[in-house]
Amino acid sequence: MNPNLDRLHPYPFEKLRGLFAGIENTTDLRPIRLSIGEPRHPTPVFIKQTLTDNLDGLAIYPTTAGGDALRGAIGDWLVRRYALTGLDPLRHVLPVTGSREALFAFGQCILDGSRPGAKVLCPNPFYQIYEGAALLAGAEPVFINNLPDDGFASGFAAMSGQEWQGVQLVYVCSPGNPTGRVLSLEEWEQLFDLSDRHDFVIAADECYSEIYFDDAAPPIGALEAAQRVGRDDFRNIVMFSSLSKRSNVPGLRSGFVAGDANILAQFLRYRTYHGCAMGTAIQAASVAAWNDETHVEENRRLYREKFDRVIPILSPWLGIERPEAGFYLWARTPGSDTDFARRLQAEYNVTVLPGSFLAREAHGVNPGAGFVRIALVADIAECVEAAERIAAMCKTL
Rounded to 5 degrees, φ, ψ at 357 are -75, -15
Mean pLDDT of the chain, nearest integer:
96
Count of beta carbons in the 10 Å neighbourhood of residue 297: 11
- Which pTM was predicted? 0.96
Q: 354: cis peptide before it, omega within 30°?
A: no
CA distances from 12 to 17, 36, 41, 190, 382 (A): 9, 10, 23, 31, 23
pLDDT at 27 over 90: no
171: exposed, middle or buried (C-beta count within 10 Å: 0-12, 13-18, 19+)?
A: buried
Per-residue confidence (pLDDT) for residue 25, from 0 to 100: 76
Whether 12 and 358 have beta carbons less than 8 Å apart is answered as yes
Q: Could you tell me the residue ranges of all domains in the chain? A: 3-42+295-396, 59-292
Per-residue confidence (pLDDT) for residue 114, from 0 to 100: 83
Per-residue confidence (pLDDT) for residue 187, from 0 to 100: 97
Average pLDDT estimate for 49-67:
96
For residue 371, what are the β-bridge partners? 332
pLDDT at 149 over 80: yes
The CATH code of the domain at 59-292 is 3.40.640.10
Condensed to tens digits (0 to 9), the pLDDT of residues 68-111 reads: 999 999 999 999 999 999 999 999 999 999 999 999 999 999 99
Condensed to tens digits (0 to 9), the pLDDT of residues 224-254 reads: 999 999 999 999 999 999 999 999 999 999 9
* Domain 3-42+295-396 -> CATH class: alpha beta
Strands ordered across the beta sheet of 371-375: 328-332, 371-375, 353-354
Condensed to tens digits (0 to 9), the pLDDT of residues 368-385 reads: 999 999 999 999 999 999
Strands ordered across the beta sheet of 201-205: 93-96, 255-259, 237-242, 201-205, 167-173, 119-124, 140-145
Condensed to tens digits (0 to 9), the pLDDT of residues 153-182 reads: 999 988 898 999 999 999 999 999 999 999
d(CA 51, CA 95): 17
**pLDDT range class, residue 143, cuts 50, 70, 90:** very high
**pLDDT range class, residue 319, cuts 50, 70, 90:** confident
d(CA 383, CA 310): 7
pLDDT at 26 over 80: no
**pLDDT range class, residue 290, cuts 50, 70, 90:** very high
Region for 115 from its dihedrals, namely left if φ exceeds 0, alpha if ψ lies in -120 to 50, beta otherwise: beta
Per-residue confidence (pLDDT) for residue 158, from 0 to 100: 85
d(CA 123, CA 106): 17
Q: Where are the beta strands (DSSP E) in the chain?
A: 32-33, 93-96, 119-124, 140-145, 167-173, 201-205, 237-242, 255-259, 328-332, 350-351, 353-354, 371-375
Contacts for 57 with CB less than 8 Å, ≥ 6 apart = 279, 280, 281, 283, 284
275: exposed, middle or buried (C-beta count within 10 Å: 0-12, 13-18, 19+)?
A: exposed
Average pLDDT estimate for 284-300:
98
- In three-state secondary structure terms, 324 is coil
